[in-house]
Structure 1
Amino acid sequence: MKLTICYDGQFYIGLIENISENKYKAYRYIFGKEPKDQEVYDFVNTNLLDFIKNNDKHSGIPIQQNKVKKINPKRLQRKVAKELKKPSISTKADEALKAELDLRKKEKSVTCKRLKEERKEYIRNIKVQKSKNKHKGR
């Protein structure tokens, strides 16, 4: 059983995927506003099984399941950490904001590089001028 929480543009929804008896079933639970960790935890511990039992109207999609191989616990931990790092399903507005942020970062880095180069050139010119003045005996 897998619970994925994502934002569909209006509400936060929980997508519950369940594979049992060689059948794939998916359920959608609407959280409404952004759920806190405690709300999700309470839903999973108390309401999840009742929700599945009440909404078990369809028979599910049959799948051909291979023999389940035992997964090393450390590998499982790595997989979970990798999935948590992945960005969840986002809206087009989120993608636009990320693109704008990346553009600003690039502009800032170019500006910072230019300022550093100008400062280095300025310091170099001062050193050259000092050495010329020393050579002339001033």
Structure 2
Amino acid sequence: MSLTIYHDGQFWVGIIEVVEGGKLKAFRYVFGAEPKDTEILDFINYRLLEVINQSVHAGLDVKIKSNKKVNPKRLQRQVAKEINNVGISTKAQEAVKKEYEEKKKSRKKKAKQYREELKEQKYFIKKQKAKAKHKGK
């Protein structure tokens, strides 16, 4: 799991990348103003699991890296490289975009269903009025 915080031009955004069972899942959390260290710690301790569990999406397939023992110097170089790396990985971008598309589809389905229910309701009221008119009320 990794948390990357960056400024997207307007807000400070955190991207959480989680690899579970060969699937990469990425989540986006908007901090707003520049977060202080205490705010980041509060987010990690209290809200991180809510953000991860709130969204259910399939994720993207990724290769799982083996847990070999890494040379300390290599590890140090990798950490320095990660610190200098600004932004998010393209896999994470794909995962966030995929989740966005899934949410968009579900919203469209709900909206269509709502419109159909409203149409049926109007039709039912229209029929009731016609019956009442026919009875002379």
- Shorter-chain TM range is 0.5 to 0.7
Superposed, 1:1-138 pairs within 5 Å as 1-55=1-55, 57-73=56-72, 75-84=74-83, 86=84, 88-89=86-87
**Structure (1 or 2) with the larger CA radius of gyration:** 1
The alignment's C-alpha RMSD in Å is 1.9
**Percent identical residues:** 51
Which consecutive residues of structure 2, in runs of 5 or more, have no partner in the other structure?
Answer: 88-137
Aligned to 1:132: none
The CA distance in 2 between the partners of 1:66 and 1:87, in whole Å, is 20
Which consecutive residues of structure 1, in runs of 5 or more, have no partner in the other structure?
Answer: 90-138
User: What amino acid does structure 2 have at the position aligned with 1:33?
Assistant: A
Structure 1 residue 51: Cα displacement: 1.3
> Which structure has the higher relative contact order (CA within 8 Å, separation 6+)?
2
The CA distance in 1 between the partners of 2:12 and 2:60, in whole Å, is 25
Structure 1 residue 60: Cα displacement: 0.8
Q: Deviations over 1:66-86 (max 9, x none)?
A: 4332224554344223432x1
Q: Please report the TM-score for the alignment, with normalisation by the length of structure 1.
A: 0.55
The CA distance in 2 between the partners of 1:63 and 1:18, in whole Å, is 11
Indicate the SS of the match to 1:35.
coil
Aligned to 2:114: none
The CA distance in 1 between the partners of 2:78 and 2:65, in whole Å, is 20
Q: Please report the TM-score for the alignment, with normalisation by the length of structure 2.
A: 0.56
Tell me: CA distance 1:72–1:42, structure 2 relative to 1, closer, same or farther (3 Å).
Answer: farther
User: What amino acid does structure 2 have at the position aligned with 1:9?
Assistant: G
The CA distance in 2 between the partners of 1:47 and 1:2, in whole Å, is 15
The CA distance in 2 between the partners of 1:50 and 1:37, in whole Å, is 20
User: What is the count of residue pairs matched by the alignment?
Assistant: 87
